[in-house]
Chain A
């Protein structure tokens, strides 16, 4: 029987869907406990699936399978709500399980149908297919009931998991076996006017497991006992980027307690992402492996030992001055002419901004568990990237992709780092040496040393302001590494890189007739990757701070200035007005004192977010600066309050969106205040959290979030878009407080105590 559900799943027969789930569903080999994620199905069902996402348990309850990884963004709850809505179920009647790796669960609309949780794309991609699958499952249950009762389907109603028609009544569970045996009845999703669950704020399904210690993260995996006692390993990579392994003296390490082996691996590329040379120390416990790893003396050769913070700063600055290699990202009108004219009759604002390399530092260190036999490779991992992991393992181990079975656990944060596959492929390569499973855990130091960092960037910006106070031309030159060169040939990366690294300038919501944006690509031997909100994380800061400077030069209030230039972008304009109203922009504090406020608005991943920050800057004891401060050195910054207006178009769960807004803003605030990777001798010089100050409790402001549906009837992203506006909002507020511009992040580098 073939399944006539929509989209990419058309050709998946129900039998195939069943097989995909075989291990999980039938409880054959895994999981040992059905509570795999800590909140999954409590009992095995025996019926077939109604399509790839829905299975009705004859004993009660409905199991919904979600293809996206849960890393705190609430996607398991959000997509369960979509399915439950269509099935007329309450959320407490459903249980969620994580989908296995399979083409059937490839993302419907992004990135070549990879199964990948990234780019704030899960709600955007999955809402429609999930809604259609839920509607189809409901229609199938109704058709089963109607034929059992010999009534017209039109007489049947569904509510809370029960089908009724006149005096007839059957729970979904009572219909489950027959429904699964018959053919599917395709149906269209509900009209939004009839939603009962979507737009409400039920408690997240995963949260109970995260307050009692039962949630299973990658690092917590316990493999089934029948596979043998799980070994533990840790890994060592070259401290210097680009160096290869020369030799290893492991004599001392091998004699240490619990040590099983010390293994050497050479770089191998199984998919787009490669694994480097590395040493693995395998032992009975991670602690023993960790102790022995400290006794391994590995010699690495090569790399660029001359690379350090100074060299990076020089390269960034030089990039701003290089004409020859600079590519024009976008040009409209005659920005240079306008700026030259403004130079004669008005004002020209000129500024250089820069941001450092940043690290993901997911709270859960990198880890993965693998078991490799002749027939199959079984993986348990906190990954955002099922397809690339499968490809990487198939390529490196030389096994067919169909032999790889990937169990995605809860992720203790992904942030983009766990969309890389290195840590999982390494685990498979290590496990290939044993007939037992091996769990590999990276010490935090190794994680800091081998990041795929958010690249450092610099921007040189010029704008003309006419005598009348109008913005008459904007010229921007960006300098920084291009992440895309890792994935596509350089000329192509360069071609498409402009719009990617030029995001927020390329698609500028402001009406600026004369605009010229250039990008100079830097080639630095530091691995870069996708850090939550990616290019918007730096360009949002550059653009929104610089516009503030221009507004100031034009003598116009920064909120008004934005409103004046947003006629062509009504959603942005409304959002600026909304956040200004939330923050009582322009009004003094209750006690009549002046407040220091700053604003930033950035669009990314299909959503627009405007933020206003209120700060207090306290001068060092004994000094009383005037209106404009000579220096921020020794003064103390407190970010007191942040207001967020979040326009993500059509949405599912406003409470989850508020939580994501608070969290993404907080992560962006931590980065703006203090985060910077430091490099010396060609290596990362930031070993652990003591040198990398992520946001702390004492720095977290009060937050107020409003979710606005300002756009077309389609969903925007949620996980990332609230991050970029906070750096400019805070820096602009610091200017309002002190008259000093922060043109370099982190803010702490200005001497301000954060």
Chain B
């Protein structure tokens, strides 16, 4: 039995502890917004937040999230989503749940980026945004993160 908090709601699932969180979310809990891309931690399609940090759910055994806080795209309310719409980022869209979770974690984990100059933000994006997008929507992902970062900056104004 695995117990954790999913999108602010406590859940219990009767499942083997070795089962990757990805498949627990998709198959046992029916939340299909988190995607399967490679199963080996390479592509980031399965990115969720584990205690607020971007985590690849396909290589995270559910036993490892016991008592912890899991957030998926279904429970995300973040300026990156509006920015993705404003910049018309997604193409096929398959990678975008993971991209959004990764981008949200990047901005939330580094509040300094909101006011950083463009070059610093670009460097952080190149360094931290390692999710793959086969449609190569990267240019717009970058623009989306810039846009969302500036929204964050405004929200953080005293």
Question: Which chain A residues have a beta carbon within 8 Å of chain B's beta carbons?
Answer: 71-74, 203-204, 206-217, 219-220, 222, 232, 257, 285-287, 290, 361-365, 410-415, 441, 443-444, 655, 659-660, 662-667, 669-670, 688-690, 694-698, 700-703
Min CB distance B15 to A, Å, is 9
On chain A, the residues within 8 Å of B27 by CB distance are 232, 285-287
On chain B, the residues within 8 Å of A364 by CB distance are 35, 37, 92, 94
On chain B, the residues within 8 Å of A659 by CB distance are 88, 91, 137, 140
Q: Which of B76, B81, B95, B134 gathers most chain A CB within 10 Å? A: B134
A696 to B132, CA, bound (A): 6
A688 to B36, CA, bound (A): 13
B93 A210 Cβ-Cβ under 8 A: yes
A213 B74 Cβ-Cβ under 8 A: yes
Q: Does B100 contact A (CB under 8 A)?
A: yes
B136 A287 Cβ-Cβ under 8 A: no
19 interchain pairs, CB-CB under 8 A = A73-B91, A74-B91, A204-B88, A211-B100, A213-B31, A213-B34, A213-B97, A217-B35, A219-B32, A220-B32, A287-B19, A413-B134, A414-B92, A443-B39, A662-B140, A689-B132, A697-B129, A697-B138, A700-B139
On chain A, the residues within 8 Å of B130 by CB distance are 696-697
Min CB distance A200 to B, Å, is 13
A697 to B140, CA, bound (A): 10
A72 B90 Cβ-Cβ under 8 A: yes
A219 B85 Cβ-Cβ under 8 A: no
* Identity of the chain B residue whose Cβ is nearest the Cβ of A364 in the assembled complex: B94
* Identity of the chain A residue whose Cβ is nearest the Cβ of B132 in the assembled complex: A694
* Interface residues on chain B, size class: 35 or more
**From A71, A689, A694, A700, contact of B142 by CB (8 A):** A700
Q: Which of B81, B89, B127, B139 gathers most chain A CB within 10 Å? A: B139
Min CB distance B144 to A, Å, is 10
On chain A, the residues within 8 Å of B139 by CB distance are 662, 666, 700-703
Q: Does B135 contact A (CB under 8 A)?
A: yes
* Identity of the chain A residue whose Cβ is nearest the Cβ of B80 in the assembled complex: A211
B99-123 Cβ-contact flags toward A at 8 Å (1 or 0) = 0100000000000000000000000
**From B31, B40, B136, contact of A663 by CB (8 A):** B136
B38 A666 Cβ-Cβ under 8 A: no
B3-28 Cβ-contact flags toward A at 8 Å (1 or 0) = 00000000000001001100100011
* Identity of the chain B residue whose Cβ is nearest the Cβ of A692 in the assembled complex: B42
3 shortest A-B CB distances, which residue pairs? A213-B33, A666-B136, A412-B94
A700 to B74, CA, bound (A): 28
B134 A361 Cβ-Cβ under 8 A: yes
**From B74, B88, B94, B127, contact of A212 by CB (8 A):** B74
Min CB distance B72 to A, Å, is 7
Q: Does B45 contact A (CB under 8 A)?
A: yes
Min CB distance B125 to A, Å, is 6
Q: Does B50 contact A (CB under 8 A)?
A: no
B35 A219 Cβ-Cβ under 8 A: yes
B136 A212 Cβ-Cβ under 8 A: no
* Identity of the chain B residue whose Cβ is nearest the Cβ of A410 in the assembled complex: B93
On chain A, the residues within 8 Å of B149 by CB distance are none
On chain B, the residues within 8 Å of A365 by CB distance are 36-37
On chain A, the residues within 8 Å of B39 by CB distance are 290, 443-444
In the complex where A210-B93, A364-B35, A443-B39 touch, is A415 in contact with B134 (Cβ < 8 A)? yes
* Identity of the chain A residue whose Cβ is nearest the Cβ of B143 in the assembled complex: A702
Q: Does B43 contact A (CB under 8 A)?
A: yes
A364 to B28, CA, bound (A): 20
A18 to B33, CA, bound (A): 32
A415 to B135, CA, bound (A): 9
**From A206, A220, A694, contact of B134 by CB (8 A):** A694
A285 to B29, CA, bound (A): 12
**From B23, B31, B126, B134, contact of A697 by CB (8 A):** B126
On chain B, the residues within 8 Å of A660 by CB distance are 91
B135 A72 Cβ-Cβ under 8 A: yes
A441 to B85, CA, bound (A): 30
A663 B135 Cβ-Cβ under 8 A: yes
Min CB distance B10 to A, Å, is 20
On chain B, the residues within 8 Å of A210 by CB distance are 84, 90, 93, 96
Min CB distance A696 to B, Å, is 7
A697 B91 Cβ-Cβ under 8 A: no
Min CB distance A268 to B, Å, is 28
Q: Does B158 contact A (CB under 8 A)?
A: no
Q: Does B141 contact A (CB under 8 A)?
A: yes
On chain A, the residues within 8 Å of B45 by CB distance are 363
**From B19, B23, B37, B100, contact of A363 by CB (8 A):** B37
On chain B, the residues within 8 Å of A688 by CB distance are 38, 40, 42
Q: Which of B31, B36, B95, B140 gathers most chain A CB within 10 Å? A: B36
B33 A413 Cβ-Cβ under 8 A: no
On chain B, the residues within 8 Å of A697 by CB distance are 125-126, 129-131, 133, 138, 141-142
Given contacts A206-B93, A211-B89, 6 further A-B pairs with CB under 8 A are A203-B88, A212-B73, A364-B37, A441-B36, A696-B130, A697-B141
